[in-house]
C-alpha cells in the first residue's frame, strides 16, 4: 500500500522540526514565460521557478540548501565550515555567504581543474565575503571529499568544531529544502488553477533527489526530469533514490523511492561538465531574448535545453504546463563570458 500523499502544509510541518537558519528570500516567484513558450512551439505553457532570486549573494539553489546545512552546523555548535568544489562553485559562493551572515569561519578548498584562478565570478564573491580560499588539484567527487574530511580532522585536532561536506549528512538535508520547494510550487500553481505536467531541474544529486521526493510526497503524477550536468562514477538514479529516502527518514516520513522513480537524464552533459553545449547556448539565448532571464552555461542552460528538446520531440500535448526550476549559477557567466556569447 503506498503511503497517502501530504498536503504542502503537512510537508512544511514535517520540515519545521529540523534546525534551520533563515537565509533565503522565500517564496521565490513563479513566473510564466509566454514569449519563450511561443518560440519553442508545441502549444505548451512554461513557468519559471525563480530560484535564481533566492538572495544570499546573487541567488541559486544553495541558499535553500544552506538554510538546513548551516542550521545544522549552528545547532551542533560548529565554528568553522570546511567546504569545497570547483573554482567557480556556486555551492561554495553561497556557503561562504551564509557563513558570513551567521558569523562562521569559512574554509574553501577549490579544485583547480581547467579553471583560471583570477578573482572573477563566484571566486571574486568568495573573497569579498571573507572566505579563506585554498586551491587544490584534487578532483571534484570522492577525491575532494576525502581531502575535506581530512581537513576537518585537522581542525578537530586543533580544538575546533568543523562542519564539513560529508555527503551522507549534507546531501539528504539539502534534498529536504527542494522537497519544500516543490510544496511552494504546488501552492503557487494551485493559486492559478494550474496542474503541472512536468518539472525540469538541473541536478547533480541533492536538488534532484529533493524534487523527486517532493513530487512523491505530494502524490503528483507529473514527470520530474532531473537533468545531469555531469556523469558520476555511480548509478545516479540509485544514489538519488537513496538520498531522497534518507531525507524522508530525517523528516520522519514513511514514503520511500526506488531508482525507477528517478528520471535522471545524462544525455545533455556533452561536451562535458562545465563546457557549454549547443542546445544549452540556444536555450540560454532564447530565454534571455524573450523573457530577460539569464541562465548559466554549466547547469541551467542544459536543463532548459532538455525541456526544449522534449517539447520539440512532441513529448507534451498542447496546453501542458511545464515548470522549469531555475537553480541560479549566473555569477559563473561573468567569469567565462565566451561560454555564453556566440
Where does this chain bind ligand PLP (CB under 6 A)? 60-61, 90-91, 174, 202-208, 296, 299-300, 327-329
Residues 6+ apart with CB under 8 A from 315: none
State in angstroms the smallest separation of the CB of 202 from ligand PLP.
Answer: 4
State in angstroms the smallest separation of the CB of 65 from ligand PLP.
Answer: 7
Collapsed DSSP state (helix, strand, coil) of residue 89: coil
Which residue is at the shortest CB distance from ligand PLP?
A: 329
State in angstroms the smallest separation of the CB of 317 from ligand PLP.
Answer: 28
Measured from the CB atom, the residue of 188 and 207 that comes closer to ligand PLP is 207
State in angstroms the smallest separation of the CB of 171 from ligand PLP.
Answer: 8
Measured from the CB atom, the residue of 170 and 217 that comes closer to ligand PLP is 170
Place of cell 565554528: 79
State in angstroms the smallest separation of the CB of 160 from ligand PLP.
Answer: 26
Measured from the CB atom, the residue of 133 and 226 that comes closer to ligand PLP is 226
In whole angstroms, what is the distance from residue 66 CA to residue 86 CA? 18
Measured from the CB atom, the residue of 92 and 320 that comes closer to ligand PLP is 92
State in angstroms the smallest separation of the CB of 86 from ligand PLP.
Answer: 9
Q: Is 285 in contact with 277 (CB distance < 8 Å)? A: no
Q: Which residues of 200-239 are buried (b: 16+ CB within 10 A; e: fewer)?
A: bbbbbbbbbbbbbbbbbbbebebbbbbbbbbebeeebbeb
Measured from the CB atom, the residue of 174 and 320 that comes closer to ligand PLP is 174
Residues, the chain: 342
Q: Is 104 in contact with 78 (CB distance < 8 Å)? A: yes
Measured from the CB atom, the residue of 61 and 277 that comes closer to ligand PLP is 61
In whole angstroms, what is the distance from residue 200 CA to residue 203 CA? 9
Amino acid at each position: 500500500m503506498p503511503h497517502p500523499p501530504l498536503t504542502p502544509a503537512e510537508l512544511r510541518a514535517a520540515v519545521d522540526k529540523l534546525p534551520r537558519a533563515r537565509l533565503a528570500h522565500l517564496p521565490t516567484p513563479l513566473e510564466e514565460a509566454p514569449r519563450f513558450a511561443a518560440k519553442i512551439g508545441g502549444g505548451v505553457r512554461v513557468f519559471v521557478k525563480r530560484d535564481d532570486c533566492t538572495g544570499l549573494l546573487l541567488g541559486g539553489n544553495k541558499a535553500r540548501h544552506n538554510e538546513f546545512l548551516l542550521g545544522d552546523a549552528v545547532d551542533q555548535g560548529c565554528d568553522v565550515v570546511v567546504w569545497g568544489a570547483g573554482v567557480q562553485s556556486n555551492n561554495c559562493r553561497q556557503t561562504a555567504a551564509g557563513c558570513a551572515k551567521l558569523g562562521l569561519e569559512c574554509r574553501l578548498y577549490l579544485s583547480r581543474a581547467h579553471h583560471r584562478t583570477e578573482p572573477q565570478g563566484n571566486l571574486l564573491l568568495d573573497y569579498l565575503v571573507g572566505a579563506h580560499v585554498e586551491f587544490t588539484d584534487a578532483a571534484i567527487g570522492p577525491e575532494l571529499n576525502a581531502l575535506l574530511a581530512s581537513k576537518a580532522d585537522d581542525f578537530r585536532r586543533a580544538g575546533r568544531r568543523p562542519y564539513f561536506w560529508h555527503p551522507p549528512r549534507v546531501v539528504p538535508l539539502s534534498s529536504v529544502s527542494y522537497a519544500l520547494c516543490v510544496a511552494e510550487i504546488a501552492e503557487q500553481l494551485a493559486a492559478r488553477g494550474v496542474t503541472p505536467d512536468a518539472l525540469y531541474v538541473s541536478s547533480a544529486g541533492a536538488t534532484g533527489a529533493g524534487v523527486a521526493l517532493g513530487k512523491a510526497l505530494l502524490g503528483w503524477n507529473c514527470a520530474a526530469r532531473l537533468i545531469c550536468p555531469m556523469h558520476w562514477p555511480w548509478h545516479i538514479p540509485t544514489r538519488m533514490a537513496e538520498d531522497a529516502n534518507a531525507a524522508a527518514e530525517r523528516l520522519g516520513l514513511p514514503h520511500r523511492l526506488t531508482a525507477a522513480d528517478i528520471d535522471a537524464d545524462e544525455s545533455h552533459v556533452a561536451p562535458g561538465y562545465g563546457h557549454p553545449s549547443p542546445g544549452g547556448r540556444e536555450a540560454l539565448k532564447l530565454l534571455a531574448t524573450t523573457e530577460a532571464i539569464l541562465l548559466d552555461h554549466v547547469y541551467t542552460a542544459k536543463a532548459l535545453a532538455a525541456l526544449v528538446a522534449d517539447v520539440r520531440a512532441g513529448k507534451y500535448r498542447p496546453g501542458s504546463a511545464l515548470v522549469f526550476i531555475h537553480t541560479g549559477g549566473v555569477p559563473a557567466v561573468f567569469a567565462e563570458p565566451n561560454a555564453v556569447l556566440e
